[in-house]
Amino acid sequence: NDQTGLYSVFRNPWHTPLTIFIAVVGVIAIVALVTVAVLQNKPLIPKYKYGIVLDAGSSHTAMYIYEWPAEKDNNTGRVEQTHSCKVKGPGISSYASDPKKAGQSLQVCMKEAERFVPSERHEETPLYLGATAGMRLLNIENSTASDQVFQAVSESLQKSPFSFQGARILSGQEEGAFGWVTVNYLDDRLKQVCTTGALDLGGASTQISFVSDAFDGSESPNNSVNFRLYGNDYNLYTHSFLCYGKDQVLRMALSGPGSISDPCFHNGYSESKNYMTLYNSPCVSKRKPVSSPADFTHVGKGNFYQCQELVKSVFDFTQCKYTQCSFNGVYQPTLQGPFGAFSAYYFVMNFLNLTDTSVPLQSVKEALARYCSTPWETIKKQHPGIKLKYLAEYCFSGTYILTLLTEGYNFTSETFSKIRFIKQIKGSDAGWTLGYMLNLTNMIPAEAPDTPLLPHAGYVSVITVIALVLFLLFVLSLRPLWPRCSQKPQIV
Q: Is there a domain that residue 244 lies in?
A: yes
pLDDT of residue 337: 94
For residue 349, which amino acid is it?
M
Q: Is there a domain that residue 463 lies in?
A: no
Indicate the residue among 169, 196, 223 that finishes a domain. Answer: 169
331 and 426 together in one domain: yes
Strand positions, DSSP E, 367-470: 419-421, 424-425, 428-429
135 and 189 together in one domain: no
251 and 212 together in one domain: yes
Q: Does the annotation place 203 within a ligand binding site?
A: yes
Which are the catalytic amino acids?
175
Q: Does the annotation place 207 within a ligand binding site?
A: yes
369 and 353 together in one domain: yes
Q: Measured between alpha carbons, how far is 289 from 464 in angstroms, rounded to an integer?
A: 90
CATH code where residue 186 lies: 3.30.420.150
Q: Measured between alpha carbons, how far is 465 from 51 in angstroms, rounded to an integer?
A: 46
384 and 293 together in one domain: yes
222 and 363 together in one domain: yes
299 and 159 together in one domain: no
pLDDT of residue 446: 40
Q: Measured between alpha carbons, how far is 234 from 237 in angstroms, rounded to an integer?
A: 10
Indicate the residue among 136, 169, 202 that finishes a domain. Answer: 169
131 and 228 together in one domain: no
pLDDT of residue 475: 65
Q: Does the annotation place 204 within a ligand binding site?
A: yes
CATH code where residue 98 lies: 3.30.420.40
Looking at the structure of the chain, the number of domains it has is 2
342 and 239 together in one domain: yes
Spans of the chain, pLDDT less than 50? 4, 6-10, 73-76, 258, 443-450, 486, 490-492
pLDDT of residue 42: 64
391 and 296 together in one domain: yes
Q: Is there a domain that residue 13 lies in?
A: no
Q: Does the annotation place 336 within a ligand binding site?
A: no
Length of the chain in terms of residues written: 492
Are 106 and 57 spatial neighbours (Cβ–Cβ below 8 Å)? no
Q: Is there a domain that residue 93 lies in?
A: yes
Q: Does the annotation place 467 within a ligand binding site?
A: no
Are 217 and 235 spatial neighbours (Cβ–Cβ below 8 Å)? yes
Strand positions, DSSP E, 320-473: 339-343, 419-421, 424-425, 428-429
Q: Is there a domain that residue 128 lies in?
A: yes
User: What's the domain range around 381?
Assistant: 172-434+442-450
CA 16 → CA 12, 20, 26, 397, 484, distances in Å?
Answer: 8, 7, 16, 95, 17
Confirm whether pTM is higher than 0.85: no
pLDDT of residue 354: 97
Q: What is the DSSP string of 240-280?
A: EEET-SHHHHHHHHHTSTT-SEETTS-TT-EEEEEHHHHT-
140 and 214 together in one domain: no
Q: Is there a domain that residue 23 lies in?
A: no
Q: Measured between alpha carbons, how far is 420 from 339 in angstroms, rounded to an integer?
A: 6
Q: Measured between alpha carbons, how far is 489 from 323 in angstroms, rounded to an integer?
A: 114
232 and 165 together in one domain: no
pLDDT of residue 70: 77
Indicate the residue among 132, 153, 169 that finishes a domain. Answer: 169
